[in-house]
Amino acid sequence: MTFILASTSPRRRDLLARLGVTPDRVAAPDIDETPLPGELPRVYALRLAEAKAHAVSREAGDVVLAGDTTIALGRRILPPADNETVQRRLLAMLSGRRHHCLSAVCVIDGNGRARTRLADTIVAFKRLSDAEIDRYVACGEGLGKAGGYAIQGRAEAFVRFLSGSHSGVIGLPLFETRALLEAIGVPLG
């Protein structure tokens, strides 16, 4: 059995290591991440995790793990911050409000069966001043991230309330991932 991580995220690799799992191969899935018309955030996150798992090449008997982290404000799916202008807008939207961090994980077992789980974490940010947003954007850590922030970095100081999976907000919900891997017999450390 070859264990394939369908993600080039160093955070997902680090989180997997906390379970005692080291991928035999890391592959970058290439999928269209555009939300479908009217698609709800939970459905979107689960669909992307499964699509990423199916997007990488695998041989019979291989196990594939993929994940997706989606930030939702109500029914609205927030994009990743692909530039500083978008990041400022996202942080202003999240300022002083609760949002959902939906972290989906998909495992394809050795027989080709896909199993998914979702962690829904409620995160509330303090009200952010323009200066705080400017300083955070200038540090660069939130670029490319869902919602424009990285909770494992400086943005953790913005969180006044969190209910759910901290590891899920980072990028891989460990409780759900452990359950999926144990269910298919992947040895954990």
Residues 189 and 184: their CA atoms lie apart, in Å, by: 15
Catalytic pick among 24, 30, 68, 134:
68
pLDDT at 155 over 90: yes
Residue 37 has, within 13 A of its CA and on its CB side, a CA count of: 0
CATH of domain 3-183: 3.90.950.10
Say whether 134 is catalytic: no
Residues 41 and 22: their CA atoms lie apart, in Å, by: 30
pLDDT mean over 144-171: 96
Q: Backbone phi, then psi, for 11, in 5-degree steps?
A: -65, -40
Q: Over the chain, what is the mean pLDDT?
A: 96
pLDDT of residue 6: 98
The candidate with the shortest Cα–Cα distance to 101, out of 155, 53, 31, 163, is 163
pLDDT of residue 1: 83
pTM value is: 0.94
Domain ranges of the chain: 3-183
pLDDT at 189 over 90: no
Query: Which structure tokens are listed for 171?
Result: 């990028």
pLDDT of residue 181: 97
The candidate with the shortest Cα–Cα distance to 132, out of 80, 84, 91, is 91
Confidence label for 185 from pLDDT (cuts 50, 70 and 90): very high
pLDDT in tens, 64-117: 999 999 999 999 999 999 999 999 999 999 999 999 999 999 999 999 999 999
Query: Considering the chain, what percentage of its residues have pLDDT values greater than 90?
Result: 97
pLDDT in tens, 6-45: 998 999 999 999 999 999 999 999 999 999 999 999 999 9
